[in-house]
Structure 1
Amino acid sequence: MNILWLSPNKSAPWIDSLAKKLLEITNINLTILEYSYSQKEEVVEEMKNGIRYITLKVPSKKMDLLSFFWIRINIIKSYLNKIYKEYDLIHIHGSEHEFHVSSYHLDIPQVLSIQGILDECRKVLNNEHIFSDWRVTRWNLGAYYERRYLTKIKNFICRTHWDKQFVKKINPKANIFHNWEPLREPFQTYIYHSQALNIAFVGGDNPIKGLRELLIAFNLVKNELPSKLIVMGSCKYSTVKEIIEKGNLYNINEGDVEVAGFRNAEQMLEVYTNCFCLVHPTYIDNSPNSVCEAQLAGLPVIASNVGGVSSLIDHMETGLLTSLHPEEIAENIKLLYHNTNLRKAISEKARILAQKRHDSNEIAQITLNIYQTIMKNHV
């Protein structure tokens, strides 16, 4: 079986984990095609760990945006026209990078895994605290390509109630398969510590992930909790300081917030060992890996009840669901901090659920079964 993946990032944890597991359980030949704004060669091919990687050169991000993505779309389309007959099936990972616009016309079985949904994400852009730069144009364009071309894709892999509802609405005749994503292996380590004091946040300074709301909530609880807030992801302390100063968050002192930057899985677990919860006050999300990985490691999660998040968390059982109001986020933080029995119960239940949900062997087998079903039914 020759399978072609279209993916914007071959090193994404879920891409890498699924690819490795598929090669373990079957003898498929896997090719992963992506694109690069910076490489000099038109096409770069390499074999690594039994996988064939193809990277296509596309114009700069600025030119990509100015051309409404059509140059990139047509470069990928032209290349696919030349090679698609070598494969039995194309698996498109996500709709955010318009791969489906380049491939929909091909007479070959195809399936698209929903990741984020730009047509839904763009709806939060009107909020005054969300960015108002080139990303607004990028998301609105991407949303157009979702609405216009996802109707032409017959098969989808979904994970949550939210992405299933979106697909049913935009493409009522589509075949929808359910499957989760594998997570990074180190998060199988159980890190729960009843004496942990700190609060973890993964999302950097991306305003959609809710750093502002969390800092306001942290300010409300700081005099009651001896906690430090650990911010992971792309973020500078100057950004945190600006939010604190603009919001008059005077309860937060120097040293109360640690900007830890990007961390690999092992380094994240080191942070989690000293935390009593992860807070994920996102404006919109489908099934955020940061929530899933924390659950798998046994770190209790407080998350905003948006998008597909409630498919991951049963309130008061496998986590706490909250609104985006900082006052409610603060109340949930205090509840989890003071109620150690609830904390331990959530840790254990969420870990058991996450272990089953993200069983890499089962996910790989389901993926293989989906491929076989789609190829069998392809007309």
Structure 2
Amino acid sequence: MKVLWFEITIPGRYKNDNAPIAGWQDSLEQIVRTCKDIDLTIAFTGTTGMMPKTVDGVKYIPLVPHYSFWEDKYSRYHNRWTSANKVVPLAVKCVEDVKPDIIHCFGTEWEFGQVARYTNIPVVIHMQGCIAPYNDALFPPGYSASDEILQAGLNIRKQWRLWRDRNFNQTWEDMEQSNFKAVSNYMGRTEWDKQLVEIFHHGAKYFHVEEALRPAFIETAQEWQPKLGDHKIRLMTTGCQTHWKGMDTLLKTAHVLKEQGVDFEWLVAGNMGMKKEIERKERLAFEENNVKLLGFTGPDELQQYLLSSDIYVHTAYIDNSPNAICEAQYLGVPIISTNVGGISSLVRDNSEGKLVPANSCYNMAYEIMSLSHDITRQKKYSSNSRKHAMGRHNPKHILTQLINCYDAIGKRDKFE
């Protein structure tokens, strides 16, 4: 079976034949490479100078759009369709050259779904997030665009970027809705993304295919163990680059814990661009409330932080199936998370972790204090969650689901 993938990011093995696995798409690629029945080609948005090449039987095709000076400096950052109108014709030409049996696109939010309008070859979109509900959660309660405008001050460049980004987000959502109308097949892994597919394309075919995790987590023999005796509680959170991740809730929760006299430290992996805005708005500082920002953290280092923590805490306002939770579960780290998006499909409440309402720093703080002193419950969450995650992210299981999806779409297309 010839399968053509369309990705937005540059595959790790294209950049460096010996590169470590970067994201979940690279991880899925590694799984697919074990199947001799799939002839895989990966096309992706590239940059000038990139050329096609083959690594270990997988063919990589960079699609390099060319922009005018105006498009490059302004239009493509203002209107999502500018890039789409450049990339989609290249993608259609790629389809004509490769002649695949199945076209597999990653994300409803990217332009490659538009290919379905120009070919009779079946197209399936692998759900990632979804712009419409994400835009509904663009700002935390009490925050607005006015806060960003105030933060930008008299800096004309920053003010222009804010205006540009608002327009871009709207055209991005418009393009996603166009993709939903064009494509009839979807892969997903949570009840949340299944519901979204039904809402935005009633009657579309939905296939359950689990998410691949990075090999650093799948292949490790290490497993989380509870920390006995009196010790400083260590909390761990991964991902802090947008307001969606609930960093305001994290800061307020940390403040409640500190006010309660809890001896803790809260490590946050990732780069937080809105740190000053949140601190100004909340009139609190992360460092003064025992929160340590780690910046970018590689998979091996992240794994050690997780194993040395007491609880993994997820404070997001919206999320589908965050890898951060899945990786923590795979190691057996007890989870406390907001009950948003598809997270309830990952973490069974009171069995594999504790789910609390979004924007509820007091509930979150209470659950952290309660769980940190309950070793029996920690062990229960750890054992149940790890068992669930190991089955869910088993590479052979994922490959079977993927092949079944491809086969069903191919047969359905021939029947129709």
User: How far 1:106 moved relative to its partner?
Assistant: 1.1
Q: For structure 1, which segment, 161-170 or 19-28, has the greater mean C-alpha deviation from structure 2 after superposition?
A: 19-28
The CA distance in 1 between the partners of 2:170 and 2:409, in whole Å, is 31
Q: Where does residue 371 of structure 1 map in the other structure?
A: 406
The change in CA–CA distance for 1:157 and 1:63 in structure 2 (over 3 A counts) is same
Of 245, 250, 267, which residue of structure 2 is paired with 1:230?
267
The change in CA–CA distance for 1:61 and 1:294 in structure 2 (over 3 A counts) is farther
Q: Where does residue 46 of structure 1 map in the other structure?
A: 53
The change in CA–CA distance for 1:253 and 1:97 in structure 2 (over 3 A counts) is closer
Report if the CA contact (8 A) 2:108-2:125 is conserved.
Answer: yes
Q: Where does residue 168 of structure 1 map in the other structure?
A: 198
The CA distance in 2 between the partners of 1:290 and 1:254, in whole Å, is 25
Q: For structure 1, which segment, 2-11 or 87-96, has the greater mean C-alpha deviation from structure 2 after superposition?
A: 2-11
User: How far 1:369 moved relative to its partner?
Assistant: 1.6
Report the TM-score, using the length of structure 2 for normalisation: 0.83
The number of residue pairs the alignment matches comes to 372
**SS at the partner of 2:52?**
strand
Q: For structure 1, which segment, 130-139 or 12-21, has the greater mean C-alpha deviation from structure 2 after superposition?
A: 130-139
Residue by residue over 1:322-368, the C-alpha shift from the partner in whole angstroms, topping out at 9 and shown as x without a partner, is: 11211111111111111121111101100000011111111012101
The CA distance in 1 between the partners of 2:338 and 2:289, in whole Å, is 26
Q: Where does residue 244 of structure 2 map in the other structure?
A: 208
User: How far 1:316 moved relative to its partner?
Assistant: 1.2
**SS at the partner of 2:310?**
strand
**SS at the partner of 1:228?**
strand
User: How far 1:20 moved relative to its partner?
Assistant: 1.3
Q: Does 1:74 align with 2:85?
A: yes
Q: Does 1:20 align with 2:30?
A: yes
**How do 1:146-165 residues align onto structure 2 when only pairs under 5 Å count?**
146-165=176-195
Q: Where does residue 351 of structure 1 map in the other structure?
A: 386
The change in CA–CA distance for 1:52 and 1:129 in structure 2 (over 3 A counts) is farther
Report if the CA contact (8 A) 2:268-2:292 is conserved.
Answer: yes
**SS at the partner of 2:63?**
strand
Amino acid in structure 1 at the alignment position of 2:409: I
User: How far 1:273 moved relative to its partner?
Assistant: 2.1
User: How far 1:374 moved relative to its partner?
Assistant: 0.9
Report if the CA contact (8 A) 2:226-2:375 is conserved.
Answer: no
User: How far 1:269 moved relative to its partner?
Assistant: 1.1
Of 123, 128, 133, which residue of structure 1 is paired with 2:136?
123
Report if the CA contact (8 A) 1:73-1:102 is conserved.
Answer: no
Report if the CA contact (8 A) 2:92-2:115 is conserved.
Answer: no
Q: Can you give the 5+ residue segments of structure 1 that lack an aligned partner in the other structure?
A: none
Identity %: 28
Q: Where does residue 261 of structure 1 map in the other structure?
A: 295
The CA distance in 1 between the partners of 2:73 and 2:248, in whole Å, is 28
Q: For structure 1, which segment, 181-190 or 160-169, has the greater mean C-alpha deviation from structure 2 after superposition?
A: 181-190
The CA distance in 1 between the partners of 2:215 and 2:350, in whole Å, is 27
User: How far 1:255 moved relative to its partner?
Assistant: 8.5
Q: Where does residue 122 of structure 2 map in the other structure?
A: 109
The change in CA–CA distance for 1:126 and 1:234 in structure 2 (over 3 A counts) is closer
Q: Where does residue 293 of structure 1 map in the other structure?
A: 327
The CA distance in 2 between the partners of 1:111 and 1:139, in whole Å, is 24
Q: For structure 1, which segment, 354-363 or 119-128, has the greater mean C-alpha deviation from structure 2 after superposition?
A: 119-128
The CA distance in 2 between the partners of 1:351 and 1:185, in whole Å, is 16
The change in CA–CA distance for 1:81 and 1:254 in structure 2 (over 3 A counts) is closer
The change in CA–CA distance for 1:104 and 1:340 in structure 2 (over 3 A counts) is farther
User: How far 1:72 moved relative to its partner?
Assistant: 2.3
The CA distance in 1 between the partners of 2:290 and 2:52, in whole Å, is 47
Give the root-mean-square deviation of aligned CA atoms. 2.2
Report if the CA contact (8 A) 1:92-1:110 is conserved.
Answer: yes
The change in CA–CA distance for 1:81 and 1:272 in structure 2 (over 3 A counts) is closer
